[in-house]
Structure 1
Amino acid sequence: MTEDRQTSDALDNPMGRPPRTRRELWVKLLWIGVWLVFLSSPVQDLADGHHGTGATWGGALGLTAFVGVYLSLVFRNMGRPYSGRLVIVLLLVLGVLAPLLAYTLGAAWLGLFVYLSVACGATLPPRATYWAIPASAALMYLVGLHTGEAEARDLLLLVVLIGFAMVGVGQLVRTTVELRKARATVAQLAANEERLRLARDLHDLLGHSLSLITLKSELAGRMLPGQPEKAAQQVADIERVSRQALVDVREAVTGYRRPRLAAELAGAQVALTAAGVAAETPAEPDLTGVPEEAEAVLAWTLREAVTNVVRHSGADRCSVELLRRQTLDGPVLELTVQDNGSGGSGTLPGNGLTGLTERLEKAGGTLEAGRAGRGFRLVARVPAATAADVGSGA
């Protein structure tokens, strides 16, 4: 949990979305403010008084408009994002103001083309920047031929490099946004998977226990009032089963329960006998080398299969076999549950069989279920050795 929180904090940065806190706003303002260093030359040029009053006021108004448009483009994802058409219009405004101010007021204003290049790299699609940024640099150099070729030559490479650097930053922002969306999707899928696991556990736990409680309740009812002692024994069994079901549900909710195959075999014998079904179950199974996950999923399978026999089959005989077999994929442990009943009603697999199939697939096993002669047969197979044992030839 701590590692997930650290990963979340590392990915949850303000790139690619509007600032949500005052701190994020100041970080973004500082990042943008660094780029305003190139405005020092135009501001100094206006302050030195090299131009007439009209030119000074015109330059100040033009510079204000240029910076306002530039900042609005940079902050375009705050509030309601700009449409693509509005972005193009604002870029054209910058593309007009930059050469106009630099051509009329001198070489000190050539730095405005840096902002034009940055705006193109930050707002245009990557394919459009391949011509827009070089075009900005070429336009600056053409204006520089009139106002100051040396200054234009010094800025030429900088305009191109900074523009394409912003393309890389934009790609990083898009990747961060996609990663944030993917992280949210993974979290949602994990939550769905956990809910599905809990639903399977509760179905398997409560379906078996409630079926047994129902059977014993019916037996107790038939035994009263003629056989009160036997009825009392059935009631005691009901209490024991209900208490155990409550413990199982709590353990399943916390995610720590691993059913044991030996315990489920004993429980299957009790459940089938209580339902009036003649049961044939194996003795204590040999689970040497069987992974815990494989044992647990076989235990779930046995519990669900016996529950189906008791509730749906109408059978009077049921056999349970547990065998080790050698296959081309390695040793497997095979569980077979077969009855002589009708197999229940309906043609589609129920929630129980669907859940068992999912469990077995996760453990690397398989499930076969269907009519067999005059009854119903379920066969579940799981690997009888870990991947390390198979690799070492054990």
Structure 2
Amino acid sequence: MTGAKGGSRIGLRPGNRREKIVKSLWIGVWLFYLSAPVTDLVRGGHGLGPRLLGGLGLAAFVAWYLVLVFRTARQTEVRRVLLSVAVLSAQATILSLTLGREWLVLFVYVAIASGAALPGEISRFTVPGATALLAMTAFAVPGGDAYLAGLLIPALMGGFAMVGIRAMIRTTMELREARATVAQLAANEERLRMARDLHDLLGHSLSLITLKSELAGRMLPGSPEQAARQVADIEQVSRQALVDVREAVSGYRRATLPGELAGARTALTAAGVRADLPAEPVEDLPEEVESALAWSLREAVTNVVRHSGAQRCTVRLATLQTLAGPVVELSVADDGAGGPSAAGNGLTGLTERLEAVGGTLSAGQTGKKGFRLLARVPLGRHGLGSGS
């Protein structure tokens, strides 16, 4: 009786008004099966008093049921939920015995509510209990045994289905927490690795610069020529250290298409967006071309995840033969509400990266819904004669 929009929302309470409305509508669909009691109230031949009491009882039953299935009970609330399930059972029993067999369907909702709101170790007993109470009440209601066959299976199956969904929700939440922990540990390990590398890279150079600076300071009064040589050595060591740092930082920051495709798949899946990505990237691309396209892919996927509200994202990467020579083309399209209304720092930076390798960038809406980013880089100027 509960649902979530997309696999990524399983296990999360509604976070905003839209999610609450969606979940309420999903739960409300199943209230259609209460049409039998409603029809009995209207056409069952009951007097005014029974109709009024039956209507109030049905309204109270539905309200109590919605409260139970709309939220997942915490462990400290188990006794309160058990009391609520007992109240629902009593309402279903009284209404069925008083108004007739059409009201036996309420026991199906009792079984489902207990499966949805109670932990599995308890609901595995309450669901059969509600079904047994349904059977006993059906035999006590005139003609109720005729309805019994059509209600027992829905009560059992619906109740245990909710037990399974609740277990799946708990497992999904634990998996999400474990992934977050792994990501945090990986980030910490990367920081430690960078710290070690930079220490190894700069430790010797900075120590040498310090030593030669002290030596030059002591030589300045009496041996200016020797001090000048020490200063020249300091300059040389400093320049080499700067080159080493730039190379190291460039290595850390260089983006690759295989890595960005894998990251895009992970990010889109986590955001509940269906990802249609190429199985393999274009091979043998020049390093600067691959890096520019990889940064373009990262920025495009980031915009899809953050701003588009899309359900599907399609990435195409191919080498095309044009009159001007081979061109590698990256296309990232989604079916969302559209991208940024104006070029921000991200798109501006991408344009500069692509222009540096002779490429172009275009981005815009593809219709009433949808946004596409298209990056193209010619390969002739980079020494690649044909596409792969």
TM-score norm. by structure 2 comes to 0.59
Q: In structure 2, what is the equivalent of residue 61 of structure 1?
A: 56
Whether 1:103 aligns to 2:97 is: yes
Task: List alignment gaps of at least 5 residues for structure 1.
Answer: 1-8, 258-394
Letter in 1 for 2:134: M
Asked whether the equivalents of residues 71 and 117 of structure 2 are also in contact (C-alpha less than 8 Å), the reply is no
Measure how far apart 1:229 and its partner are.
2.6
Which amino acid counterpart does residue 163 of structure 2 have in structure 1? V
| Contact 2:13-2:71 at 8 Å conserved across structures | no
One of 58, 62, 82 as aligned partner of 1:88? 82
Cα distance in structure 2, aligned partners of 1:48 and 1:10: 41
- The one-letter amino acid of 2:135's match is Y
3-state secondary structure, aligned to 2:46: coil
Taking the aligned partners of 1:72 and 1:234, their CA distance within structure 2 comes to 80
1:97-152 Cα distance to aligned partner (Å, 9 max, x none): 11111111111111111110101111222122222111111111111112210101
Shift in Å at residue 238 of structure 1?
Answer: 1.0
After TM superposition, the structure 1 = structure 2 runs for residues 144-183 of structure 1, keeping only pairs within 5 Å, are 144-147=138-141, 148-183=144-179
Per the alignment, residue 184 of structure 1 pairs with 180
Distance 1:42 1:215 in 2: 92
Map 1:176-215 to 2 at 5 A: 176-215=172-211
Please give the alpha-carbon distance, in whole angstroms, between the structure 1 residues aligned to 2:29 and 2:247. Answer: 57
Check whether the contact 1:134–1:160 (CA below 8 A) recurs between aligned residues. yes
Computed over aligned residues only, the root mean square deviation of the Cα atoms, in angstroms, reads 2.5
Render the CA deviation track for 1:167-188: whole Å, top value 9, x for unaligned: 1111111111112111211221
For 2:235, give the aligned amino acid: E
CA distance in 2, matches of 1:100, 1:11: 39
Mapped to 2, the partners of 1:181 and 1:86 lie a distance apart of: 28
The sequence identity of aligned pairs, in percent, is 60
Match in the other structure for 2:11: 16
Measured in 1, the distance between the counterparts of 2:140 and 2:194 equals 76
Alignment check: 8 A CA contact 1:213 1:238 kept: yes
What is the total number of aligned residue pairs between the two structures?
A: 248
Instruction: Please tell me whether residue 30 in structure 1 is matched to residue 49 in structure 2.
Output: no
1:181-330, aligned counterparts within 5 Å? 181-256=177-252
Which structure's CA Rg is the greater one?
A: 1
**Code of the aligned partner of 1:186:** V
* 1:238 alignment partner, SS class: helix
TM-score (normalised: structure 1): 0.58
Code of the aligned partner of 1:143 = T
**Unpaired segments ≥5 residues, structure 2:** 254-388
- C-alpha distance in 1, partners of 2:105/2:250? 64
Closer, same or farther in 2 for the Cα pair 1:180/1:144, shift >3 Å?
same
- The Cα of 1:94 is off from its aligned counterpart by 0.6
